[in-house]
Chain A
Amino acid sequence: MSIEIENVSKRFGAFAALEDVSLSVPSGELVALLGPSGSGKTTLLRIIAGLESVDEGKVLLNGEDASLHDPRHRKVGFVFQHYALFRHMTVFDNVAFGLSVKPKRTRPGKEVIRSKVFDLLKLIQMEHLWDRYPSQLSGGQRQRVALARALAVEPQVLLLDEPFGALDAKVRQELRRWLRQLHDEIHVTSVFVTHDQEEALEVADRIVVMNRGKVEQEGTPSEVYDHPANPFVFDFLGKVNLFHGRIDNGVAQLGGVRLPASGSSSGTDGSAVGYVRSHDIDISRHGSGSDAIAAQVRGVLRVGPLVRVDLLHAGGEQLEVDLSRDAADRLALQVGEQVFVRPRNVRFFVNDYQI
């Protein structure tokens, strides 16, 4: 089932949670709503589910106005951040709930419900824990039960609110991969909310980056990562270094270095900021002022497979560079040492505000 969101706005008192948001999710896709807290992503998800009303605009499910249907008839499965399992029911009863509350005419028989619940428990690899209570399960197990419970009613749309937010890093990684596989198997249109860019990049078919109640950019993971539409998206999706400078006649001046300003977001001249990812900077001991920027090493830190180098460049700004272990070992940088940095893949954004 496809989801269309048309010019939706929502206010909570004086706070504008969503401002004129439009979005379309094609049938069968797995979409991530990515943004910092307070960006309106959870509100948008709750509006799709019908748990929240809209002030303006429309939500269309399969081309039909969703406000015509009560949330209970929208055929939407919702997975809550804190699971919201029924605490007085066993795993089996939790998963069976959606089937057992159906009206008599459409409710399947006891045996059918039983076999269906056990099929789902098998899918989440928990059939041996069917008689446990939620309090006896780990966080990851609870979240899988919550997912099975939502899938039991065969929803047309699956909505997940920070599904892995409350889990530790290792379990989160496993569940992420598992969710991706599950989606490849059952192909139900899914939307999940996250503030973790890595999670969004790894799991989603498409990413919708949100900030302050608005959609900043929408696209495939590589589109939003490699071609961020604006400074916010660039900054939010991974670590970034800033170089302040000027653009004149399509050539950028950054601390004495001249670079063609090909990636400029606008053709106008003036003061501009160059955005460079932390892995898109080369460090060397040799160079001149015209092709590289002088910098001083402030710290070298080994973080798992990477080595993080903190630098202070001649313009007085901090830089953070990620090197592979090999590259770092070859350089053998010392704290306090003078080096030269060369940015690759610089994106320029002309300052769009005036003081």
Chain B
Amino acid sequence: MRSNDMNSSHYPGVFRVQKAGALAEPLPVRLLLVAGTVLFLTLFLLLPLGALFSEALSKGWQEYRAALLEPDALSAMRLTLVTAVICVPFNLFFGIVASWCTAKFTFPGKSLLVTLIDLPFSVSPVVSGLVYVLVFGQQGWLGPWLQAHDIKIIFAVPGIVLATVFVTFPSVARELIPLMEAQGREEEEAALTLGAGGLQTFFRVTLPNVKWGLLYGVILCNARAMGEFGAVSVVSGHVRGATNTVPLQVEILYNEYNFVAAFAVASVLALLALVSLALKTFTEWKMRQLQKAGA
């Protein structure tokens, strides 16, 4: 009885160390695995990142600054920000609604809806862009009507926003659906029997329970929205200073052999990626903490 207690509850640490010891690989194997991983990461991830910044700064800070403050570059950044500012809240709203419907209710056609939500991630972004051209372009289905009412979508900002919304659509919903499904419906049922209405239940029970997952989805959505190339490239028309987003601007500069400027603008995207990564890691850590705490 006594020894049993010591093993299982009073000294959990001792028990765990023994277990880990039994499972661990011998030292040389561990070193080899770690060294291999570090080498791989350096070669394929750190080296390119370093190359990008060193190329961007190869002619000094002055040139770097000038490349970033150039009017076309600034306009590209402005457009990218505008796109993200419209796209992220839109996807946030529809992501929450879609995941709430599918995770907390059952209705016919539910699995079809879940598949549809995933569609943008499974088709090539170029195809999504082309589809928008076919629908909204001059020769497209709605083209004549749009022209008659003097509305410009393709080769203009609305087209870029639409294409970005489309390709980023699943990012929030995909994060939330598994999380909400894992949490089940019991807390909502408890709120209901305690007299809470639908909206009260949603804002006071459902939403707070998924807030970290939601933030994670928003970060991914934002990163994708700002970095999107394929779909946006098809619908933008590449008008300098008007319909170029940051990734498109990078491509143009590169094709003009303006390497310093191309890498300088690209470094903005790389920095954005690093910030997203840091935020993502933090939210992941936070979610794990909560998972450990909740039962």
Contact = CB atoms under 8 A, between A and B. Distances in A.
Interface of A: 49-51, 71-74, 76-78, 80, 82, 84-88, 97-98, 101-102, 133-136, 146, 149-150, 152-153
Given A82-B186, A87-B294, A76 B193 contact: yes
Given A84-B186, A86-B187, A87-B209, A98 B194 contact: yes
Contact of B193 (A77, A82, A102, A136): A77
A146 B186 CA distance: 12
Nearest to A80: B186
Contact of B192 (A72, A82, A86): A72
A77 B193 CA distance: 6
A49 B193 contact: yes
A71 B197 CA distance: 10
28 contacts: A49-B193, A51-B189, A51-B192, A51-B193, A72-B192, A72-B194, A72-B197, A73-B195, A74-B193, A78-B190, A84-B189, A86-B191, A86-B209, A87-B187, A87-B294, A97-B196, A98-B196, A101-B191, A101-B197, A133-B293, A135-B293, A135-B295, A136-B293, A149-B194, A150-B193, A152-B194, A153-B194, A153-B195
Given A88-B208, A135-B293, A135-B295, A98 B195 contact: yes
Contacts, number: 71
A152 B190 CA distance: 13
Contacts of A78: 189-190, 193
Contacts of B187: 84-87
Contacts of A101: 191, 194-197, 200, 204
B96 to A, nearest CB: 17
Given A78-B190, A80-B189, A86-B205, A72 B294 contact: no
Interface in B206-264: 208-209
Give 9 closest A-B pairs by Cβ, nearest first.
Answer: A98-B194, A84-B186, A135-B293, A78-B193, A101-B196, A84-B190, A88-B208, A87-B294, A72-B195
B209 A97 contact: no
A97 B200 CA distance: 11
A88 B195 contact: no
B258 to A, nearest CB: 51
Contacts of A133: 293
Contact of A97 (B189, B191, B208, B295): B191
A135 B294 CA distance: 5
B140 to A, nearest CB: 45
Contact of A72 (B193, B208, B209): B193
A102 B186 contact: no
Max chain A CB contacts within 10 Å: which of B187, B194, B295? B194
Contacts of A152: 194
A67 B166 CA distance: 43
A73 B194 CA distance: 9
A72 B197 CA distance: 7
Contacts of B195: 72-73, 98, 101-102, 153
Contacts of A77: 193
Contacts of B200: 101
B262 to A, nearest CB: 46
B200 to A, nearest CB: 5
Contacts of B190: 78, 80, 84-86, 146, 149
A320 B204 CA distance: 55
Given A88-B209, A101-B204, 9 more contacts: A50-B193, A72-B192, A72-B193, A77-B193, A86-B205, A87-B209, A97-B191, A97-B196, A149-B194
A50 B193 CA distance: 8
A98 B196 CA distance: 7
Interface string B251-289: 000000000000000000000000000000000000000
A72 B201 CA distance: 11
B87 to A, nearest CB: 28
A127 B195 CA distance: 24
Contacts of B189: 51, 78, 80, 84
A97 B211 CA distance: 19
Contacts of A80: 186, 189-190
Contacts of B295: 134-135
